[in-house]
Amino acid sequence: MTIAVGENMPSGTFGIMTESGPGALSTSDLFSGKKVVLVSVPGAFTPTCSMNHLPGYVDQIDALKGKNVDTVACMAVNDVFVMDAWGKDRGVGGNVMMLADGNGEYVGALGLEMDASGFGMGIRGQRFAIIVDDGKATHVAIEAPGQFEVSKVEAILEAL
């Protein structure tokens, strides 16, 4: 079942890169007591994700913070090394947390996985953005296949 507004975010763990190498971040540590914008992309280094989706959030970080967002996090079904390299390539710095959902377990728990086998990418996460307030989904924006409208930063800023 797909996550819906008013529901608690499922528990899980993401891979993150730390100063000492690969680490883990629990959803409790990510969401508890915070307002978080969780953005999902089908894949690091893919065209729309790299040229539009992630850069929009990086460029608008001050506007997001101005709307009381504590954390902006970008997740993809990629490993922690790829997510770290992509974040460096896109210049996210400390502005956007790069989360690896390497086995697609979290997108599965959200009910937002997709089969991209036809593109040689296997199971991935759909393109979406969720506003989370203290662990509860307050806005869920899931893109239709091939679309990039409801999860882009401008739409999320309006929803905030």
Residue 9 falls within a domain, yes or no?
Answer: no
**What pTM, to 2 d.p., does this model score?**
0.94
The residue segments making up the domain with residue 134 are 14-159
Tens-place pLDDT, residues 82-107: 999 999 999 999 999 999 999 999 99
Tens-place pLDDT, residues 143-158: 998 899 999 999 999 9
Task: Kindly tell me if the per-residue pLDDT of 159 is higher than 90.
Answer: yes
Q: What's the number of domains the chain is made of?
A: 1
Give catalytic residue positions.
49
Tens-place pLDDT, residues 5-48: 999 999 999 999 999 999 999 999 999 999 999 999 988 887 67
Instruction: For strands 113-115 and 123-125, give the pairing.
Output: antiparallel
Per-chain mean pLDDT for the chain: 93
CATH of the domain at 94: 3.40.30.10
Q: How far apart are CA 108 and CA 151, in angstroms?
A: 19
Residue 155 falls within a domain, yes or no?
Answer: yes
Task: Kindly tell me if the per-residue pLDDT of 122 is higher than 70.
Answer: no
Residue 108 falls within a domain, yes or no?
Answer: yes
Question: The dihedral of CA 73, 55, 121, 126: what is its sign?
Answer: positive
Residue 145 falls within a domain, yes or no?
Answer: yes
Residue 123 falls within a domain, yes or no?
Answer: yes
Task: Kindly tell me if the per-residue pLDDT of 142 is higher than 80.
Answer: yes
Residue 6 falls within a domain, yes or no?
Answer: no
User: Which tokens sit at 115?
Assistant: 């089969």
Residue 70 falls within a domain, yes or no?
Answer: yes
Neighbours of 11 (CB within 10 A): 12
